[in-house]
Structures are given as C-alpha cells and as structure tokens.
Structure 1
Amino acid sequence: MVILPHLTDGKSGSNRVEGKQVERPLPGTRPSENLPMSPRHIAVAIVLAFTLVRLLWAYSIGFGIDESYTIGQARFLALSYFDHPPLHYWMTHAAGVLFGTSWAVRVPTILLFSGTSWSIFCLTERLFGGSAAVFSILFLNLSLFFLVSAGAWIVPDGPLLLFLACGAQVMAKIFFPRPGEEEPSISWWLLAGGLLGLAGLSKYSAFFTLTGLAFFVMTTPQRRQLSRRGPYVACLAGLVVVLPVLVWNGQHDWASLRFQAGRGAWQFSPWALARIILGQIVWLGPWIALPLIRALLHAFRKGRTERELFCLALAVPTIGYTTLQALGSGTGFPHWPMPGWLFVFPLLGARCGGCAWPTIRYAIVTSSLTLMLLTVAAAFGASGALQRLNINVHDPTQDLVDWSPVLEVLVRLKIGMPDGPAVAGLNWAEAGKLDAAVGEIAPVLVLGSDKRGFGTRSDPRLSSRHGLVIVASEEAWARDGTTVSCLPEDARPVARLQIGRGGQAEFALLVIPVEVCVGRAH
C-alpha cells in the first residue's frame, strides 16, 4: 500500500531525451495505466456512495451537544458568534428555515463534504495524477473524522474544509499550470483569496493553513509571484470576506478571539500531548492514520518536488501547532489538527497511485471495517443499547438523547405564552440541548458562569418574560444547583422526567420553576 510511485520534478511530467525535453503524463493520468476505468468516473462513484452513507448516518442518530448548541445559536443571525466565525451558523439558520429542527439540517454539511472530496480529487489529480487522486479521496472518505464529524455533523469544519480545499485547488492551478494552459489571470487570484477568506469565515484555524501557504510562496521558486499583483489582490479579497468577524469582535471587546486564545494558557503536560496524538490516530482511524503518517514522513525525507512541498506547507503548520500546543497548555482536542491532515491525503494518494491493485485490496478491507464500525456506532447511537449492557463506563452516545420530551411538561408551566417564563440551563452544554428542543417557542439562557454564546446573543423575547423555569439533569443540579447565587433558597424540582432512546430511560431531567432570579444574565 505504501509503495512510492515515480514522481516528477514538481513542475511537469517530463524527461530529457538526447537534449530535448519530452512531455509525458503524470502517473495515473491515463485510465488504462493503473485503474480499470476513468479516474473521474471512479471518483464520482466514490463521492456519491459516501454521500449516501452520510445521509443514512445523519437520519439514524440524534443531535449531539455541539450540534444542538449550534442549532440554538443559529436562530439569531449576527455578524459573528462567540465560539466561532459565523459561516456555519448562517448555513444552519438557512437550513432551519427550510427543514425545521429535523435531521435534514445536516444535509448542507453532507453536500459540502461531497464538494470537499471532489476538490481534493481535482487538487491531487493536478499534482500527482488520476490514480493518486482516486486513492486520496477514497481514503479521505474512509477516515472516521472526515466520514462522520466533518462530513455529516453541524460543525464549522464542514465549510472550513470545503473552502480550504477549493482555495488550495485554485492556488495549485496558479502554481502548477499544465502544458498548454494559459497564464492564470488576476481573477484566479481574486477567486483564491475569496475562497480562503470563506475558510477564515468558517473557523479561526484557517490561519495556520494560510501561514503555511505564505511560507511556501516565500521559500520556493514561487516567490516570483510576489513581484506581481495577484498575491496582494488575494489578500485584500480575503480580508474583505472576514470583515464581519472583525467587526463583531470589535463590538464585543474581542470576546471570541480572547476565548480562543485563552485555551492556550501555559501548563506543561506531556500527558496532554500523548492524549492528542492518540486521539488523532483514533479519529483518523488507525488503518488510515498509519499510512498517512508514513506518507507525511516520506515527503519530509524526500522533499524533492515543489508539489510535495506545497502539500507539506498546507498541512504541517496546522498539525504541528495544534498538536504541540497541548504540551504547553494541557489542553487540546484531536479534531483541531484535522484540517492539516486533509492535505496529507494527496501525498498518500501519490504513494498509492503506482500500486493500484494491492491498494484496492487494502481499500476493500478498510472499507468493510469502517462501514461495519459505522453501522455498530449508528445502532448504539440510535438505540442507547450500550446502557442495556450494564457496563460500568460512561456512554459517550448519551449526548445524542433528544430533550424534546421536556416540552410537554414545560407547556403546562405556560412556556410559549407571550408573557410566560423563560427557560434556563445550568451550563452552556445543557442549555444547548434545551435550546434545540424548546428555543422556537421560548427564550433560553444560562445561569452558570460559562455561558459561551448565550452571554453575547440578543433575544428580544426575554424582555417580556416573567419568571424562569430551570431544566437540568440530576447530575448538573447536584453539582451546580447550589452555586447559582441568584436562586432563592426554596427552589425545588416540581417534575422529574425520565428520557432516553428506544423506550429505555437513561437519565432524568429536573424541572424547577423560579418566580424571580435576581441578577440573571443571558
């Protein structure tokens, strides 16, 4: 699987024969070279097949905490938001208008990743040939994070990855024109800047990819581009696109940027570094992670072509910083480096493109394993079957439980009436689940100290509300209920609602009405 195909000098597929330069196709560009049919036809089939898999997955399971939180925050349009730039919130708002709070709000994310897959195919095809491009997107779609999280969940990685991939594809057209192609015009630079600006409008981590791109331009023969107008036009276009984020942060005391920067406080922790490395291997899937790592290391050792250096420049800053910062901060999540790994897949495809049949056999095995795991995960996520096994471990799928049954209880307390009470959670995560369930009929706020986006959004319905109804899990009430200073001493639950999946009660929600909560903040 990891046999390296012959690669070109990075500028064109050419050899010198008796003093003359003879053009030859890059490996894998001819359908008959390594694959049984046209690479583009195979790529379309791969994209369509995995789009169907993601649709089935999205239909099968409920919303997690981050998705529920995003759905609630997206009800209120703003220039930007506390946790992330606004693009995926804007998309979720539009999807909510079309589909309501149903599984179908995931459809835009699924379609976005179909576009990401095709863009990575086109990028790899230009850099390393058609066979390499097929294997790059096949293994991309078999990687757990890209298959499920970035490919189907309502998170900022969906638009981030699409616009990073499209921006890189346009930059590759500028840097590595094919024989006979016209010199890229200023419009290509404008398009690249706009696409990379949209990546910045999706997630702050796009900065690391842009840093790598700038480093590539300045340290390779592509530095000649700096004497032209194109790079500066692209920078200006990107800056215009991300203006909403800058304006919103300026209006809110740079709250979002300060929150993200605050995650890197110094706390030496080798264990955190080990945890984030192991987490990346699990998220990628070990059967994909190990070949990816080998492809990355091989490109480092070899490093002879601009095309490989281009992929390394796009990948390494994100992977390197978000991994190593865990050593000094004690914090970090394994999905943070994933935008960097996106650009290692073309390198993996290049390693596989020259040995199609051994790689196809490996792909069949990994496809079977991945789809089997996905089916099992969907079954557990939809049914809560892990609870029935009586294993004394935390069930990570419990976050998928739907909180909408609480709506029937709240309606009896005049929730939804014009002057009825507001609804509150004790932390941002539980308030997010509440917001997805009842936010359409009542304002939702947070009483705890960590309010996240609830602390900066403006809900005009709050001004007309009288009283408050707190909804909290028993665990949260026992842990945080006594720390909320604005609650009266006689605040007590009036209802205990068992919720779960598949007719199985998994945990209880407590409903606590409060007439007055002095000093509350949303």
Structure 2
Amino acid sequence: MTPRRALVLLIVISAGVRLLAAGLLGLGNDEAYHFLYAAHPALSYYDHPPMLAWTEQLGLFLTGETYSPLALRLGFIAMFAGSTWLMARIAARWHGPWAGFFAAMALNLTAYYGLAASTFALPDGPLLFFWLLTLDRLSTAIDDDRRTIPWLGVGLTWGCAMLSKYHAIFLPAGAVLYLALTPSKRRLLLRPGPYVAIVVGLLVFSPVLVWNATHGWASFVFQGGRAVGGITPRPDCLAIALLAQSGYLLPWIWLPLMAVLVRDLRRWWRLENQGERLALALAVLPFAAFTMVACFRPVLPHWGLIGLVSLFPALGREWAEHWSKTPARVRRSLCMAAGFSVVLLGLTLVEYRTGMLQRVEGSRWGLFKAQADPTGDLYGWDQVAAGLEKLGALSDPDAFLVTRYWYQSAQVAHAINLRRPVLCYNIDDPRGFAFWSKPNEFVGRDAVLLAINDEMIPLPFYQRWFTETSSLGEFTVERMGKPLRKVRAYRLRNQRAAFPYTFSPERIAAREMLRAGRHPMDATSLSAGRMPAVPVIRR
C-alpha cells in the first residue's frame, strides 16, 4: 500500500458513505434556507456570499432534480473530495507523502468537516476547499519569491474563498503576519506579488461588494454584528465554545491540534519548516479572534475552526512518525476513530428513521424530549406538504403561505416544491425573505399562516394587514406512530397593505447587540413607532 493508493481509497470510500447519507436524510433548516439561494440567483445574499448557491446549482443542474436533497448536496460532497486531496498535497509537500495521507485522514475523521460540512449544503464546505487551495497557492508563491505570476493564482483562490464565507478575510491577514515575522521572506512585502493578489482577490469578490452597496451593506452589518462581543465577561460562553469545538472536531483530533498550536507558538523562532510557520500564522488569527469574542458572548463553535484546518499537515506529520514506530498501535487507533464516525453516522440515520430519542419521552428515565431530537428538523416536511394539500391551502393559485420564522418558511417552500409563494412575515428577522419578496405583489391576495408546534401566533398583529382571519385546520406530523410536529393553519383574507420589509443597518445592528446581551433595548423597542414587535428569534 502506497500513500497515493491509500489516499485514493480514502476519497472513494468516504465519498460513497457521504452519498449514501445525503440520499437518506432530509434537509436541515439551514439547508432548506440555502436551497432558496439557488432558487433566487443573485450577486450575493443577506447571510452569505454566493459560492454556496453556485455549488448547489451545480448539483441541481447535473442531476436535473430540482428538489432532491442528494442533488442539492452533490457539489459539496465533490468539493470535500477535492479538499481531502488538497490537504494530502499540502502536507506531502511540507512533511512527506505519508504525512499527506494521515493529514487527509484526520480531516475526514472530524465530525464537522468529515460528516457535516462535507455532506450537507453549508458554506463551510466551499470555504474549506478554497482555504486549502489558497494555502497551496500561497505556499508555492512564497517559495518562488522572484516571480509575480504565482500571486495571480493566490488572488484568484482567495477571492473564491471570500465568495464562500467572510472568514476568508483571515487569509491575507495571516499571510502578512507570516511575512512580517519571517526575516528571510520579509522582502516580499516590498514586492508587487502580494498586492497583485489582493487586487485580483477583490475583483473576484466584487459581486458581493456590488450587492452590498446596493442593499445598504446589509450582509456586512448582519455578519459583523454577530462577530462583535459584549462588554461583560462570560467565562461560561468561553468554556462552552471550547468544549463545543472539541465536540465538532472530536477530542482525539482537537486535543492534538491544540498541542500542535501551543507547541509551535512556543518555538516559533526555532521552527525551520517554513510551511509549518505559514500554517501557524494562518491558524492563530481566526482562532484567537473568535476565542476572544467567546469571552463576552455566545458564538457558534465552527466559526473558529477554519483556522485550525491549517494545522492538520503538522498533525499528519506526527501521525506518520508514530506510524513508522508503532504501526499496529496507530492502525488500531485509526480503526477506532473511523469506527466511531461510522457508528455516529449510522445512529443518526437510525434516529432519523425511527425517532428513538423522541420515543422515550415520558419514559421512566425522563432523559429526552422530542424537541431535543437532533434529527427532528430534518424529518416529515413531506407530510407537511401533504397536510396542506388536504386542507386546500395549495389549491388557490392566488394565495400564498406565511410563517413567522425564516427556517420554517424555507422548509415549507422546499416541501411544496415552490408551488406557491412562501414568505416570512417577521419584522425583526425575516433574513433573506426581505430581499427575495416583493411586498406590493401580495396586496389584495389571501394568505395561509402556519404555526408549528405550540408557538404563539399574534393574530392581532396580522389583523393589521388582512381584513379577516379564521382557522383553517390543523394536522400532526408523525414518525413511527409518534407525533413529531403539529401544524396549525389560519386563513388570512385580502392583504390590505404591503408588509414592511424595511431594512435598516441600525435596526440589524441593534438586534445583534441585543442578542449579545449588551444593548438596553428590548424586542418591543426595536419596532417602536412602527408596529407591534414580533419577538426576536433566539436559536
């Protein structure tokens, strides 16, 4: 077995497992929402840049299956296969071919990148691919420090990374940090190459700049507000963030990566491998930035993970060294780690089909509730579409559907195959629906308002916009005979005025400050002087 053959087997087998999972699991809330990106082509979007939509559109185009979860995810599975190859290529260049294989293996054994971002329609899949491709091109350009041409490739790949997710802003920052702290490479800061790369990258990224300039810089305000911390120290948030990171990467990957990070920081000036120095510079800034934010507010665990990806080549080198000394022990450890990932995926598929955790609700153990089912959001939306059909909610060609929450509207829209317009009537947080919808088109039309489970529906709020409201009926989504989701439907007749999707940078910033626990306004004051507030979503 050669490293090359081992890598090919890894890519083929892991891609096959992901294709199986992608075909068996329904769409998650974020995926259903991201599907609407592909359904509404644009230069950019409120939440993310457009690479996410382009990757989705690739799979949908190649298969011709517009509403297939597998088709939606196909581009992401292919892109992770490319990420696996890139990881092996980078690590092999710096540390040898077996280090390349083990670095790629470690990436595949993580929970977030190896199972989630590699299978589902999430922006971190394209970001990972173009982050690694930028690292590959950057390493080549720095080694060939007499020519400017390689920097064109750096700019192109970095621009694509920026089109994937704004976290890619840390790539040029880390590169500058590396050049400034490496005496033998510092002269590159006086040469045109790095600046050519910046210009090319910004040109590639320009569609996002154009979209934001014509939409009040909405995306930058929204994402910037999420990344800004509060003013009160929150050690609990920091502890949760680090523990969650460990869970996302799995402890047997995260802890060795932390050891690599600390060790290389302590011996920075003695590191002889320039690739390892570059990787450390690219890793430390995003990890430090989001760790600092976590000291003051809750953060999503995967925000800071992309920086740690740069440390996998060093981890692959360590595994290769252990392999050369104790191959049997390393083989057992890898089999156990791979087995855990396969079992975890298998349990997810079983839970999705059977709802075992949901079914023990009310048992003598009392450990689980249906709301805590990790697969509940993915299941049963086809039953929602069938229930709406029975209620006649889809029979009126002039009617449209409404929910209060963007993720519910997205799931309904995908479930009914976009047969009717689906809107999100929420003043405080409509997400992309504020930009996809044309409110004036719905004046004079009837709506069907959907309430999921036991959520409170403020009918007096909607009565301001419609002449009459009445109950249409309700139904229950079941899994293995156990109720999973209750849907109540209300008929709203004759919309009298356009719903106010009023975007304000100040409004979005205030909402994100409120979520961070550092703003004196409450949800009502966010809408004061305009309308009764719909409570801010807290997820």
**Shorter-chain TM-score above 0.5:** yes
1:505 to 483, 487, 505: 483
The residue that corresponds to 2:401 in the other structure is 423
In the aligned structure 1, how far is the partner of 2:439 from the partner of 2:459? 27
2:235 to 270, 293, 314: 270
Match of 1:30 in 2: none
Deviation by residue 1:247-272 (Cα, 9 ceiling, x = unmatched) = 00000100111111112252422211
SS at match of 1:44: helix
Q: Which has the higher contact order (CA 8 A, sep 6+)?
A: 1
Cα gap change, 1:424/1:439 in structure 2, threshold over 3 Å: closer, same or farther? farther
**In the alignment, which residue of structure 1 is the partner of 2:78?**
111
The structure 1 residue matched to 2:355, chosen from 381, 384, 387, is 384
Match in the other structure for 1:343 = 310
Structure 1 counterpart of 2:429, one-letter code: D
1:324 to 287, 292, 303: 292
**CA deviation digits over 1:6-32, x for unaligned, max 9?**
xxxxxxxxxxxxxxxxxxxxxxxxxxx
Alignment deviations for residues 183-224 of structure 1 (CA, whole Å, 9 cap, x no partner) = 775332111110110000011111123311221122212222
Structure 1 Cα separation of the partners of residues 354 and 444 of structure 2 = 37
CA distance in 2, matches of 1:227, 1:493: 70
* CA gap 1:465/1:397 in 2 versus in 1, 3 angstroms: farther
Instruction: State the aligned residue count.
Output: 478
Task: Give 1:235's aligned residue.
Answer: 198
- Report the identity percentage: 30
Q: C-alpha offsets along residues 113-133 of structure 1, whole Å, 9 cap, x if unaligned? A: 110111111111111111211
How far apart are residue 360 of structure 1 and its match?
2.7
Alpha-carbon distance in structure 1 between the residues aligned to 2:461 and 2:67 = 32
Offset, 1:371: 1.2
In structure 1, what is the Cα distance between the partners aligned to 2:217 and 2:335? 49
Secondary structure of the structure 1 residue equivalent to 2:316: helix
Residue 493 of structure 1: how far off its partner (Å): 2.9
Give the drift of 1:392: 3.6
Distance 2:438 2:161 in 1: 28
1:283 to partner: Cα distance: 0.7
Q: Does the CA contact (< 8 Å) of 1:283 and 1:334 recur in 2?
A: yes
The alpha carbon displacement at 1:409 in A equals 4.3
Q: Is the CA contact 1:426–1:480 (under 8 Å) kept in the aligned structure 2?
A: no
Question: Displacement, 1:414?
Answer: 6.0
Distance 1:343 1:224 in 2: 24
Amino acid at match of 1:509: V
Higher mean alpha-carbon deviation, 192-201 vs 509-518, is at 509-518
Q: Deviations over 1:473-504 (max 9, x none)?
A: 0323x265565563669634312121143454
Q: Partner residue of 2:511?
A: none
Change (3 A) 1:416 1:234: farther
Contact 2:280–2:311 (8 Å) recurs in 1: yes
* Alpha-carbon separation, structure 1, partners of 2:444 and 2:354: 37
Partner of 1:467: 446
1:154 pairs with 2:142: no
2:467/2:494 contact within 8 Å kept: no
Report whether the alignment pairs 1:79 with 2:43: yes
SS at match of 2:489: strand
- Give the drift of 1:415: 2.9
Say whether 1:312 aligns with 2:291. no
1:12-411 to 2 correspondences below 5 Å: 37-97=1-61, 98-104=64-70, 105-176=72-143, 185-220=147-182, 221-263=184-226, 264-268=228-232, 269-303=234-268, 304-305=271-272, 306-328=274-296, 330-356=297-323, 357=327, 358-390=329-361, 391-393=367-369, 394-411=372-389
SS at match of 2:301: coil
**SS of 1:494 mapped into structure 2:** strand
CA contact (8 A) 2:158 2:171 kept: no
Map of 1:27 onto structure 2: none
- Specify the SS of the correspondent of 1:80: coil
Please say if residues 77 and 93 of structure 1, whose CA atoms lie closer than 8 Å, have aligned partners that are also in contact: no
Q: CA deviation at 1:143?
A: 0.5
Which shifted more, 398-407 or 305-314? 398-407
- In the TM superposition, residue 157 of structure 1 has moved relative to its aligned partner by 0.6
Structure-2 separation of matches of 1:460 and 1:426: 15
CA distance in structure 2 between the aligned counterparts of 1:402 and 1:240, rounded to whole angstroms: 43
Q: Confirm or deny: 8 A CA contact 1:74 1:92 kept in the other structure.
A: yes
Q: Alignment partner of 1:509: what SS?
A: strand
Question: Once the two structures are superposed, what CA deviation does each residue of 1:384-414 show, in whole Å capped at 9, x if it has no partner?
Answer: 2221122443222211123233334444646
User: Is the 8 Å Cα contact of residues 134 and 349 (structure 1) preserved in structure 2?
Assistant: yes
Which residue number corresponds to residue 9 of structure 1? none
Q: What are structure 1's unaligned runs of at least 5 residues? A: 1-36, 178-182
Distance 2:422 2:120 in 1: 23
Distance 1:492 1:84, change over 3 A: same
* C-alpha contact 2:23 2:69 (8 A) present in aligned 1: yes
Root mean square deviation of aligned Cα:
2.3
| Equivalent pair of 2:137/2:153 in contact (CA under 8 Å) | yes
> In structure 2, what is the equivalent of residue 18 of structure 1?
none
Q: Secondary structure at the match of 1:100?
A: coil
CA–CA distance in structure 1, aligned partners of residues 266 and 399 of structure 2: 64
Can you give the 5+ residue segments of structure 2 that lack an aligned partner in the other structure?
A: 362-366, 502-539
1:273 and 1:486, CA in 2 relative to 1: closer, same or farther beyond 3 A?
farther
